[in-house]
Amino acid sequence: DTEVTQTPKHLVMGMTNKKSLKCEQHMGHRAMYWYKQKAKKPPELMFVYSYEKLSINESVPSRFSPECPNSSLLNLHLHALQPEDSALYLCASSQLTKDRQAQYFGPGTRLTVT
Amino acid sequence: GQQLNQSPQSMFIQEGEDVSMNCTSSSIFNTWLWYKQDPGEGPVLLIALYKAGELTSNGRLTAQFGITRKDSFLNISASIPSDVGIYFCACNNQGGKLIFGQGTELSVKP
């Protein structure tokens, strides 16, 4: 099973709203990732969790707040977003074995900020 | 910084034709990955390559990890309409991050 699930599939939110994106994997992967992707561009890394600890924050604005409650779950809390934050948000997971770090992506959440 | 040069940027082909795309880099990598992304969906891993010179097939797809560890190609044989999408190459850097190519957008005419 190489499935990563994400909810919701679509989200429309106002600039004053608070919402959360959720991601789940049951492959026993100990690294989980959040990416942001604009149309027809490659994904851009936002955050990396290794063994449930935040290991990389790619200078993401504080209006995005990640959380890793356990080894299978990853959340992204959203607050006071801007219209330019509208994008496809992707979750991914991978093993942490050196040189075997192929990442498996979820289907994404299409976020629209109005 | 490290970057991957992916070509071509786009391809328009007839159904049944073979397709070839490639990625090159000035840096050495230990992993080459190929993903396909359909509109509105997440990238799907097609092939993972872990050894220089490795040639791997997955159905009509064939990919190779270049012997210099600085390049890789992906071939699709006998294309069909569902091959339409954007194909990305990607590599792991030392920090465990994925570096992506800019993508090859494939269109298939029935």
Write the pLDDT tens digit of every residue in B48-89: 999 999 999 999 999 999 999 999 999 999 999 999 999 999
At residue A85, the 3 state secondary structure works out as helix
Residue A64 and residue A85: Cα distance in Å, rounded? 10
- pLDDT value of position A52: 96
Show the beta-strand stretches assigned E in A17-62: 18-25, 31-37, 44-50, 53-57
Handedness of CA B36, B101, A4, A85 (dihedral sign): negative
Contacts of B45 in chain A (CB under 8 A): 2, 102-105
Handedness of CA A26, A19, B40, A56 (dihedral sign): negative
Residue B27 and residue B80: Cα distance in Å, rounded? 34
- pLDDT value of position A100: 65
pLDDT(A97) > 80? no
φ and ψ of A85, to 5 deg: -80, -5
Contacts of A88 in chain B (CB under 8 A): 40, 42
For residue A105, what are its two tokens? 């992506």
Average pLDDT value over all residues in chain A: 94
- pLDDT value of position A99: 64
Mean pLDDT computed over A78-93: 97
Element of type H or E holding B85? strand B85-92
Q: Distance (Å) from the C-alpha of residue A9 to the closest C-alpha of chain B?
A: 10
pLDDT tens digits along A12-67? 999 999 999 999 999 999 999 999 999 999 999 999 999 999 999 999 999 999 99
Q: Is the peptide bond before A69 cis (omega within 30 degrees of 0)?
A: no
When scoring B4, B23, B34, B45 by the number of chain A Cβ atoms within 10 A, the one with the most, hence best to mutate, is: B45
Higher pLDDT: A48 or A96? It is: A48
> Which chain B residue's Cα is nearest to A47?
B97
Residue B71 and residue B25: Cα distance in Å, rounded? 6
Show the beta-strand stretches assigned E in A1-114: 4-7, 10-13, 18-25, 31-37, 44-50, 53-57, 64-70, 73-79, 87-94, 104-105, 109-113
Q: Which of A76-85, B38-47, B88-97 has the lowest mean pLDDT?
A: B88-97
**Segments in chain A forming alpha helices (H):** none
Handedness of CA A46, B63, B3, A85 (dihedral sign): negative
Mean pLDDT computed over B82-99: 91
Residue B49 and residue B41: Cα distance in Å, rounded? 23
Mean pLDDT computed over A79-107: 91
> Which chain A residue's Cα is nearest to B30?
A99
**Segments in B13-104 forming alpha helices (H):** none
Higher pLDDT: A74 or A100? It is: A74
Residue A73 and residue A71: Cα distance in Å, rounded? 6
Residue A74 and residue A66: Cα distance in Å, rounded? 7
Mean pLDDT computed over A95-100: 75
pLDDT(B7) > 90? yes
pLDDT(A74) > 80? yes
User: Between B31, B42, B105, which is nearest A99 by CB?
Assistant: B31
User: Between B42, B96, B100, which is nearest A42 by CB?
Assistant: B100
Average pLDDT value over all residues in chain B: 95
